[in-house]
Amino acid sequence: MTGTTADAATRVTKSLGDAKAWRSVNWAEAEADVRRLRQRIFKAAQDGDAKRLRNLQKLMLRSRHNTVVSIRRVTQLSQGRRTPGVDGKVALSDQDRGQLLRELEAAPRCRPVPVRRVHIPKANGKLRPLGIPTIRDRVEQARVKNALEPEWEALFEERSYGFRPGRSCHDAVGRIHTTMSRKDAKRTWVLDADLTSAFDRVNHDRLLDAIGDFPARREIQGWLTAGVMEQGRFAPTEGGTPQGGVISPLLLNITLHGMGNAAGDIDRQPIWQKTAHVTPTFVRYADDFVAMCATEEQAYTVKQRLAEWLEPRGLAFNDEKTRVVHIDEGFDFLGFHVRRFDGKLLTKPSREAVKRFKEKVTAISMEMATAKTADVIRRLNPLIKGWSTYYRGAAASKVFGDLGHWMYIRMFRWAKRRHPKKSTAWIQDNYFGAFHPHRKDNWVFGDKETGAYLVKPSWTHIVRHTVVTGAASPDDPSLVDYWAGRRNKRKLPEAHGRKVVGMAARQKGLCPLCGTDLIAGVGYEPESVREWANWFSANFRHLHKHHLIYRSRGGSDQVNNLVLIHSDCHRKHHASDHKELQEIA
């Protein structure tokens, strides 16, 4: 055998070994081990036991289970798994993931490389710069995050909601509504604020001082100063944390920790003191926040305090998006509009959110002017379902109804453009009808050939969101029962006729084999319309239907004989009998 042939054979053998090693991972055990270690770190931080805390964090950083869980999050569950860094590499196969695992175990800590700068459009038409680390750096960041995050979960303020496990933007909006909804509410003035390019301006020295002697401090410093590559040119980074890194949202939260106290909102202040002095109530979601105050003067005082607190951290207010308003005038926050009408506080989808939704639907329908009707429906349905699901916790019934009427007009125009010489009656007869099998609605847009139909926002039921209690964290071992109950009561997206979504909802979003979330973003509620839309499209591609009673043994394809599981869990479950996988279309 020649040397070249021998080398090739060695590579093939090694590749087969990498793939086999990855497929042999016991995911239920790995996830449970990481979860227990996170809880131990949280408890040590809560007890103020610094020595035990650092030892446990070192144990997490050395943990093989932490490594495999981090690789899975980055290369399988993350929406950016197909996006490479400056090295152009991704890990989309079992072989690639197994190789990455082997490399990380051999040399777990390597020098970070620069991030790849890309720009994505923002809602206001401007561009948002993102820094995309390499796949390896992203995995390293996920490993470090599992060691660092539980420590800070024990410290974070209770009304901080952005990019934290078990918390969502709906918790932030719900807390605002609870604070101001009473007719005799004392806090009727609002400082509605935003920070200018917060991710890009974080002061590195302040951040590293806050992290202290964390065992992976050197790695974090390396990621902060790795630099940026844009169009082949390198630029150093003297401030900020790349918006696109796995650990960046956590680092921003650490930088902004204490902001509520600076505004005068003391988490653990006795309730009678808050009532007597009417201190501000501060709600923050990442770099978006509101301070609810008793008077206009108090609101401006809070703004001045915060400006002084932010300056040494390298941050400042975005004057275009920062204002002081009375609740009767209303304000927008995270896509919602909060305003008091005739003494009653209502939270609705904002006008800007409705406008963006219409623009997106219009753009898709124009782009697909000559496409098949079924393809247009397949493209629009996730957007409609995602948008209505995101806003189902608000007073959105009228908005949903109005959008349904607007969409009828939009789709009528789409059909009319395809058949300009056909009459109104012909278009209504060929494109509209009672397509939904359980609704007596003759004005549903659909495709008579396939039976596919466009859902209506008004079909989504209004479901009030239950705000997370106080400073509760999933990492707190004393609150296991609370989070289990909250998970069981979680309202998942409505199926609207799609069996897969109904199965996921029936399973409370969990894989019955490994016990972890079916959908990417484990431990987090969807944070946007786009993320909710993924319930109905891309995120289900890595899931399989599993027959409880195999078809070869007389089992049926009925829903009561099916469960939804991860493709990896399914493959491992059938590894011994080589049953055929049935992947979701």
Q: What is the tens place of the pLDDT at every residue in 351-406?
A: 999 999 999 999 999 999 999 999 999 999 989 988 998 999 999 999 999 999 99
Residue with tokens 């995270």: 334
First CA to last CA across the chain, in angstroms? Answer: 45
7 DSSP assignment: H
pLDDT of residue 580: 45
Taking alpha carbons only, the member of 509, 506, 508, 496 closest to residue 536 is: 496
Backbone phi, psi, residue 127, to 5°: -105, 140
CA-to-CA distance for 585 and 582, rounded, in angstroms? 9
Contact 119, 132 (CB under 8 A): no
> 83 Cβ partners below 8 Å, 6+ apart?
90, 132
> 104 Cβ partners below 8 Å, 6+ apart?
67, 71, 136, 139, 140
> 496 Cβ partners below 8 Å, 6+ apart?
381, 385, 455, 459
Taking alpha carbons only, the member of 293, 265, 269 closest to residue 190 is: 293
Angle at the Cα of 196 from the Cα atoms of 120 and 252, rounded to 5 degrees: 80
* Sequence letter at residue 496: H
Residues of the chain with pLDDT under 70: 1-16, 123-125, 267-276, 490-502, 505, 519-542, 575-585
Q: E strand or H helix at 235, and its extent?
A: strand 233-235
pLDDT of residue 146: 97
| C-alpha pair distances (Å), 131 with each of 49, 167, 228, 252 | 36, 25, 7, 15
Helix (H, G, I), strand (E, B) or coil at 257: coil
pLDDT of residue 570: 79
pLDDT of residue 515: 73
pLDDT of residue 125: 66
pLDDT of residue 252: 96
pLDDT per residue as tens digits for the range 92-123: 999 999 999 999 988 877 788 899 998 877 76
Q: E strand or H helix at 491, and its extent?
A: none
